[in-house]
Chains A and B, each alone.
Chain A
Amino acid sequence: MTADRSTTPPPPAVDPACDVVQLLTPEGLRIEHPDYPLEISPEELRSLYRDLALVRRFDTEATALQRQGELGIWASLLGQEAAQIGSGRAMQPDDMAFPTYREHGVAWCRGIEPERLLELFRGVNFGGWDPHDYNFGLYTIVIGAQTLHATGYAMGLQRDGAESAVVAYFGDGASSEGDVNEAFIFAASYNAPVVFFLQNNQWAISVPEERQSRIPLFRRAHGFGFPGVRIDGNDVLACLAVTRKALQHAREGQGPFLIEAYTYRMGAHTTSDDPTRYRLASELENWKLRDPIERVKAYLSRNGLADAAFYESIEAEANELAARVRTACLSMPDPKPLDIFNNVYAGGSPLVDQERAFVASYLGDGDGAEVGDATPVLH
């Protein structure tokens, strides 16, 4: 007789069916939560709807561009619009965001032109915006690494006496990374003003959240000594209200805060992925009933806050945006060969200079006009 060495853990000790902060139901009914009151005007609601609709349309266009060979890959945000627009709109201009590679909705809220996001995925550069101009870091591909940068940045805000805070974006898969856990420890230890915004979209490519954690992820915060809360990540109002409050908590010197936005990645991980291999179609169908945009539309319509003309105008604007993005993508100039050598070092390097000069010479261009800016330094 052998001992039971099953690698399947027993059921969690804590019921994962835990409290979820929700302010707008999937049916579009407004409900109140005692800890997260939210006053929001019809104008703001329509504005949120516009954001949600436009980023979805942009995302759809980007997926199409990838399918047509114009982007190397695309990481779709489909289904996560509310989590991103809600949290993104909760930030003040001086707050800093550290994104993963899927935060297109947050980028939109930070004022970054969507076409700039395509530059990374087209292979033109590694991020076409200056993080300081938008208070939005570059996309980070290595999972979880940016949570430490966010924490360090927040430690800098403390030293500056700044009245702003940081939002660190990551996902359920990243929650298993050492860096995320170290970020929790540093943030807690130094009481850093950082909100950890975890979009639990339930799938780390093909691996379900159950493989990452035996307890609901928001409960991890308790073990690190700071508050954590789970919210309906498809409810833009909950995402807005809770992130706003968490940022206020951080700004007031009360330290880090973990928000687990429970949502669903309705598309593939990226355009290179095939989710039919690892999850059931019924799961997606079920989540379509909790669509983040439809519930806002239902609320607006039910309360007479938007009419057909409004939705038509948004749709027209979305299509204009898509066309603009497409044109920008197709007309994006390729970098020049010698651009490879730009910005390796702030203070330069004789080795890089020498290799640049070699390539300029190899490509047979005397003045470097076509291959880029050559500044040869030979020994």
Chain B
Amino acid sequence: MAPIAISRALNMGLRKALEADPKVLIMGEDVGKLGGVFRVTDGLQKDFGEDRVMDTPLAESGIIGTAIGLAMRGYRPICEIQFDGFVFPAYDQIVSQLAKMHYRSQGQTPMPIVIRIPFGGGIGAVEHHSESPEALFAHVAGLKVVACSNAADAYTMIQQAVTSNDPIVFFEPKRRYWEKADVDTTTPLADALPLHQARVVRTGRHVTLLAYGPMVKTCLDAAKVAADEGHELEVVDVRSLSPIDWPTISESVRHTGRCVVVHEAQTFLGLGAELAARVTETCFYDMQAPVLRVGGFATPYPPSRLEEHFLPDLDRVLDAVDRSLSY
């Protein structure tokens, strides 16, 4: 099969999920006839009908709140939030209702809901279209949070997320939507890498790079350049931001002795803070340098003409690698 773009792989994964279980629904703004503003749901309403692929009123809290009710009735809604910055009207329903429902009902009311959010910058968009709010969700007990970085994972992870009986916030790297890769559609879902496991996507022995979503490609690019300079970087695609696959991460850092975390989100109290703390706790005696972080600055996401200075790029990753190696 020819290489497939991430957006297309997600579309194929969603189609498989709709085919596999009649209780699976898709709901969101413009997901029907238009197929979503990124066309991720293209053609699904036509094939599965308006009752299963619902164009909703333009109200994010309403989307999540009614999805909760549908889940109570036995459905498995996949909600699309159109852009990262538009999720906050639904934040109360996600944090106060969705995340806590299974706990407060003493396990009687599972919430098999997936919330898809295209996230991150780099597309020259206006404000509220380029944010990385994943830490705000990973901090919430009761939610699970994942991010895909490539088409093969996109295809598999979205299907795994739909089969989860826990609510999953599913971050999609919107600037990579059109990046193509080979996608294996033949391996049964049960044999795929479990959703909440990290993956070493490039092996190396000098520094471990921890990244997810759009920054995995940036780190892989950086690793190629570093290799020319004689530095072998190991790149770990964290994939699951809650829960985090500590064994895979710890094993890598114990092996390299150095760790740099890369994400687009502001570094202050971002995922990198938790990763750094935990890596330090578990790998302290094997480490040659403190965990360094590369990420957005402690500012709002800037106007797009400035975003190249805000977003970590290959040079900033390599700069951090050099600093790590200098200890």
Contacts and interface: CB of A to CB of B under 8 A. Distances in A.
Contacts of B208: none
Interface in B41-74: 51, 56-57, 59, 61-62, 64-74
B61 A179 contact: yes
Nearest to B22: A159
Contacts of B71: 152
Given A126-B104, A342-B107, A344-B103, A156 B141 contact: no
B165 interface: yes
Contacts of A186: 56-57, 59, 62, 66
B78 interface: no
A153 B73 contact: yes
A152 B243 contact: no
A152 B73 contact: yes
A189 B57 CA distance: 8
B102 interface: yes
A124 to B, nearest CB: 11
Given A132-B108, A342-B107, A156 B70 contact: yes
Interface string B250-284: 10000000000000000000000000000000000
B102 A149 contact: no
A5 interface: no
A182 B61 contact: yes
B208 to A, nearest CB: 17
Nearest to B68: A149
A160 interface: yes
B304 interface: no
A182 B65 contact: yes
A52 interface: no
Contacts of A128: 106
Interface of A is mostly: helix
Contact of B105 (A127, A352, A379): A127
Interface stretch (B31-39, B90-98, B129-137): B90-98
B166 interface: yes
Nearest to A379: B247
Nearest to B97: A145
B110 interface: yes
Contacts of A151: 65-66, 69
Range of interface residues on chain B? 35 or more
B166 A150 contact: no
B69 A155 contact: yes
A66 B237 CA distance: 52
Given A145-B97, A156-B74, A157-B73, A183 B65 contact: yes
Contact of B70 (A137, A152, A189, A351): A152
B114 interface: no
A351 B243 contact: yes
A343 to B, nearest CB: 4
Contact of B92 (A142, A150, A344, A351): A142
A178 B66 contact: no
Contacts of B112: 346
Nearest to A353: B243
A47 interface: no
Given A142-B97, A186-B57, A343 B75 contact: no
A27 B116 CA distance: 58
Contacts of A349: 144, 243
A149 B69 contact: yes
Contacts of B67: 152
Given A145-B96, A189-B57, A347 B68 contact: no
A142 B96 contact: yes
B59 A185 contact: yes
A179 B106 contact: no
Interface in A333-357: 342-347, 349-352
A95 B19 CA distance: 30
B10 to A, nearest CB: 22
Contacts of B92: 142, 145, 179
A95 to B, nearest CB: 13
Nearest to B64: A148
B165 A160 contact: no
A150 B69 contact: yes
B218 interface: no
A313 interface: no
Interface in B10-30: none
B107 to A, nearest CB: 4
24 contacts: A125-B106, A126-B105, A149-B68, A152-B73, A153-B70, A154-B69, A155-B69, A156-B69, A156-B74, A160-B73, A179-B93, A182-B62, A185-B57, A185-B59, A186-B57, A343-B106, A343-B107, A344-B142, A346-B107, A346-B112, A347-B164, A350-B196, A352-B141, A379-B247
Interface of A: 98, 125-128, 130-132, 137-138, 140, 142, 145, 147-160, 178-179, 182-183, 185-186, 189, 342-347, 349-352, 379
Given A149-B65, A152-B69, A179-B93, 9 more contacts: A126-B106, A140-B97, A148-B66, A149-B97, A152-B73, A156-B69, A344-B103, A347-B164, A351-B244
